[in-house]
Chain A
Amino acid sequence: MKRYILKRILLAIVTIWAIITITFILMHSVPGNPFRTESKMPPVVYKNLQAKYGLDKPLSEQYVIYLGKIVRGDFGDSMKSRVETVNDMIERGFPVSATIGLQALVIALCFGPALGAIAALNQNKWPDYISMIIAILGISVPNFIMGTVFIQFLARNIGWLPIGGWGEFRHSILPSFALAFLPMAQIARLMRSSMLEVMGQDYIKTAKSKGISKATVVLKHAVRNAILPVVSILGTVASNLLVGSFVIEKIFGIPGLGTFFIISIGNRDYPLIMGTTIFFAIILILMLLTVDIAYVLIDPRIKLSKEGR
């Protein structure tokens, strides 16, 4: 098992490196020069700016310098903001995004498995149909639409729920729910099919034959086994949450990292784009790694097998 974890960590590092490299290459292969968007400037100023951003050095050297900086946690300077560095912006925006992301995750993890289990236990009856309709809506209605609907029909009618902005807890309620819908739906659907499969297994019959109550059979035997596949898609869930946050932040006007990212794209502020992309990627890959390792730890069948994979 240790070998497996090591392999996964290695893969994570390689992937992060790959992303840094790809991002670097992409950003530097943009046709034209990043500064061309500025109005015409005296060659001297141009040269100084180039030097400042290290753009006068050969590409490979720039790459190494950049890599070095990243490793030390320095994401560089923003090209558009004179006041803040990329690190500053990340520090400002990340906690905001993280709050919403984590809240959404909690919502998804609470309601998702519950919805799925209820559906499975009442197969082909009303609770099943209703749960699954909710789930289908969750995966079919893009989150920005969900957010728009929330704003239009909930926020406008309930004064207490703000239309947007940030500051108090209540500002995070609607965004979190809008963001949570997709992961919750995915988890619910997976949980349902997983539960159905588990409930048909022989060991459930054994459990019932011992005379324990239905609730115990469901909770201690069925859910315990059915939840395993759900753990394995938490990686995808995390990914969706991350990217979903960009759009949600835009709609609700929330000053999170996603908003900075979108603005940087609009401005073509390349250092900021690079920095935030790499930061996002690192967070995501760390989350995926955590999920992978967690899965291996939770499933006793994998824990102790010598193969480890």
Chain B
Amino acid sequence: MEKVLEVKDLKISFKTFFGEVEAVRGISFTVGKKETVAVVGESGCGKSVTASGIMQLLPMPPAFFKGGEIIFNGENLLKKSEKQMQAIRGNKISMVFQDPMTSLNPTMKIGKQIVEGLVKHHKMSREAAENKAIEMLKLVSVPQPEKRVNQYPHEFSGGMRQRVMIALAMVCNPQLLIADEPTTALDVTVQAQILELMKKLQDQMDMSIILITHDLGIVADMSDRVVVMYAGQIVEVGLTDEIFANTKHPYTRKLLASVPRLDMSKDEPLYSIDGTPPDLYIPPKGCSFYDRCSEAMKICKDHVPELDEHSATHQSRCWLNHAMAFKGNSRAGGEK
């Protein structure tokens, strides 16, 4: 499949008062044409930093790119100047953000906000731009678009605003859409609508999507492949089916187990993973999941496992993959 985006060994850190925080510690993944890749993980695992990093929207002090490449359409984005990146943002790569209530300029009309990028990238007349804005509102199913195009954000509900955000992101027909937790701030019913919308637009426009989320429920529905991140690293990556049916990494297993299911009895306690992710300004010496892993072995404490292949598309980073993992072990009655 044609590769739209290739991230190679990306490292992003932050200079803070306490020292350097390694937010992204060498991740690699690809996104193909018309593919949806989900990036999952807890808060603080580095997925949002990755997303913003691809667009180079991170505040550059204190953030800095420590290493790696981001190849888009054959070119390394990290080598591009700010002006060149501006030509790409909103045009070839777009982003949808998490909180629709704060992501729109409260003092600017919706229509204007939608076509702002279009006017800059494709030089349109004011009239043509306004028509395009109405067209986009129709596309994202906002009722009464002719009237609404001249309204302000506070006159829209949360779900409506997110639709406007999507319209805004899609207006230049980007090749890649990065959606950073697009439904987290919305009600469940509205969530479904937004996801439907994104699927429909992806189909219509031959677009690739990177879907950042911590909600495995929507991953199953939307994505072709899944990248699981923990503490700034990729711990497992594979086709959605592979991840769900043949989970290899203990963290992924726990993530799946913690999704509440309709067929649970109401007396069953909700499962959650104990503990908190490690603080990344002293990166763990060995496997970053060591402290919370119920299957941890001695080797896991001091040595970082590499990515092992389970299939052409499925990899995970865990010492349990090693041939010797089940020799020195007695696993009878292990802890949960």
Q: Please indicate the chain B residues that have their CB under 8 angstroms from the CB of A304 in the complex.
A: 152, 155
Instruction: Tell me, rounded to whole Å, the shortest Cβ–Cβ distance linking B114 to chain A.
Output: 10
Q: Is the CB of B105 within 8 A of A210?
A: no
With A201-B102, A301-B154 known as contacts, the answer to whether A209 contacts B107 (CB < 8 A) is: no
Counting CB contacts under 8 A, is A309 at the interface? no
| Number of chain A residues whose Cβ lies closer than 8 Å to a Cβ of chain B | 24
Q: Is A211 an interface residue (CB 8 A)?
A: yes
**Interface 9-mer from A40-48, A97-105, A137-145, A218-226:** A218-226
Report if A205 contacts B (CB, 8 A).
Answer: yes
Choose one: B105, B106, B121; the contact of A207 (CB below 8 Å). Answer: B105
For residue A30, give the distance in angstroms from its CB to the closest CB of chain B.
Answer: 51
CB distance from A12 to the nearest CB of B (A): 27
Q: What's the Cα separation between A213 and B82 when bound, in Å?
A: 9
Known contacts: A202-B97, A209-B55. The answer to whether A221 contacts B105 by CB under 8 A is yes
Interface contact A211-B108, CB-CB below 8 Å: no
Contact of A71 with B by CB under 8 A: no
State whether A301 and B89 are in contact (beta carbons under 8 Å apart), knowing that A202-B99, A209-B55, A211-B117 are contacts in the complex: no
* B91 contacts chain A at the CB level, 8 A cutoff: yes
Given the known interface contacts A206-B103, A301-B106, the answer about A211 and B95 at a Cβ–Cβ threshold of 8 Å is: no
A181-222 near B? 1/0 per residue, CB < 8 Å: 000000000000000000001110111111111101000110
For residue B116, CB closer than 8 A to chain A, the reply is yes
User: Is B186 interfacial (CB-CB < 8 Å)?
Assistant: no
Contact yes or no, A225 B57, CB < 8 A: no
Q: Is the CB of B165 within 8 A of A211?
A: no
Q: A209 CA to B169 CA in the complex, in Å?
A: 9
Q: 4 tightest A-B contacts by CB?
A: A211-B89, A210-B117, A210-B90, A211-B90
A103-123 vs B, CB cutoff 8 Å, 1 = contact: the mask equals 000000000000000000000
A220 to chain B: closest residue by CB: B108
**Minimum distance in angstroms from A116 CB to a CB of chain B:** 18
**A206–B161 CA distance with the chains assembled, in angstroms:** 13
Q: Are A211 and B120 in contact (CB under 8 A)?
A: yes
Q: Are A206 and B168 in contact (CB under 8 A)?
A: yes
* Residues of chain B contacted by A203 (CB below 8 angstroms): 102-106
Judged by a CB distance under 8 angstroms, whether A300 is at the interface is yes
- Are A211 and B87 in contact (CB-based, < 8 A)? yes
The CB with the most chain B CB atoms within 10 A, among A202, A213, A214, A301, is that of: A202
Docked Cα-Cα span, A301 to B104, in Å, equals 13
Known: A206-B165, A304-B155. A211 touches B103 (CB 8 A): no
For the complex, give the distance between the alpha carbons of A25 and B24 in Å: 73
Q: How far is the CA of A203 from the CA of B116 in the complex (A)?
A: 13
Task: Give min CB distance, B140 to chain A, whole Å.
Answer: 16
B30 interface contact, C-beta 8 A: no
* Contact yes or no, B117 A224, CB < 8 A: no
| CB within 8 Å for A211 and B88 given contacts A205-B97, A206-B165, A206-B168 | yes
Tell me the complex Cα distance, A254–B102, Å. Answer: 51
Check: A299 CB closer than 8 A to any chain B CB.
yes
Interface of A (DSSP majority class): helix
Which residues does chain A contribute within 8 Å of B121, judged by CB atoms? 211
- Say yes or no: B102 contacts A202, CB within 8 Å: yes
Q: How far is the CA of A300 from the CA of B97 in the complex (A)?
A: 23
Judging by beta carbons under 8 Å apart, are B86 and A213 in contact?
yes
Is A202 touching B90 in the complex (CB atoms < 8 A)? no
In the assembled complex, the CB of A298 is this many whole angstroms from the nearest CB of chain B, namely 8
Any A CB within 8 A of the CB of B94: yes
Once bound together, how far apart are the Cα atoms of A123 and B286, in whole Å?
Answer: 39
20 A-B pairs with C-beta separation under 8 A: A202-B102, A203-B106, A206-B103, A206-B168, A210-B94, A210-B116, A211-B89, A211-B90, A211-B120, A212-B86, A212-B90, A221-B108, A224-B107, A224-B108, A225-B107, A300-B106, A300-B152, A300-B154, A304-B152, A305-B154
Which residues of B are interface residues toward A (Cβ below 8 A)? Answer: 55, 57, 82, 85-91, 94-95, 97, 99, 102-108, 116-117, 120-121, 152, 154-155, 165, 168-169
Query: Which residues of A are found within 8 Å of B116, using beta-carbon distances?
Result: 207, 210, 212
Q: Chain A: which residue is nearest B102 at the CB level?
A: A202
Interface residues of A (CB under 8 A from B): 201-203, 205-214, 216, 220-221, 224-225, 228, 299-301, 304-305
CA distance A213 to B117 in the complex (A): 10
Q: What's the least CB distance linking A296 to chain B, in Å? A: 14
Given contacts A211-B86, A301-B154, contact A202 B103 (CB under 8 A): yes
How far, in whole Å, are A225 and B153 apart by their CA atoms in the complex?
14
* Contact for A301 among B55, B88, B152, B169, CB less than 8 A: B152
Complex CA–CA separation, A202 to B185 (angstroms): 14
CA distance A301 to B155 in the complex (A): 9
A residues in contact with B120, CB < 8 Å: 210-213, 216
Residues of B within 8 A of A211 (CB): 85-91, 117, 120-121
> A residues within 8 A CB of B86?
211-213
Tell me which residues across on chain A come within 8 A of B102, comparing CB atoms: 201-203
> A206-B95, A206-B104, A221-B105 given. 4 additional CB < 8 A pairs?
A203-B106, A213-B120, A301-B107, A304-B152
Question: What separation, in Å, do the CA atoms of A225 and B106 have in the docked complex?
Answer: 8
B256 to chain A, nearest CB (A): 31
On whether the beta carbons of A208 and B155 are closer than 8 Å, the reply is: no
Chain A residues with Cβ below 8 Å from B168 are 206, 210
- B-side contacts of A299, CB under 8 Å: 107
* Contacts known (A301-B152, A301-B154, A304-B155); A208 close to B89, Cβ less than 8 A: yes
Closest chain-B Cβ to A257's Cβ sits at a distance in Å of: 38
Complexed CA–CA distance, A225 and B91 (Å): 25
Chain B residues whose C-beta falls within 8 Å of the C-beta of A224 in the assembled complex: 105, 107-108
A210 to B86, CA, bound (A): 8
Contacting pair B107 A300 (CB below 8 A): yes
Give the docked Cα–Cα distance between A212 and B97 (Å): 17
* A209 in complex: contacting residue of B57, B82, B106, CB < 8 Å: B57
* A304 CA to B116 CA, complexed, in Å: 24
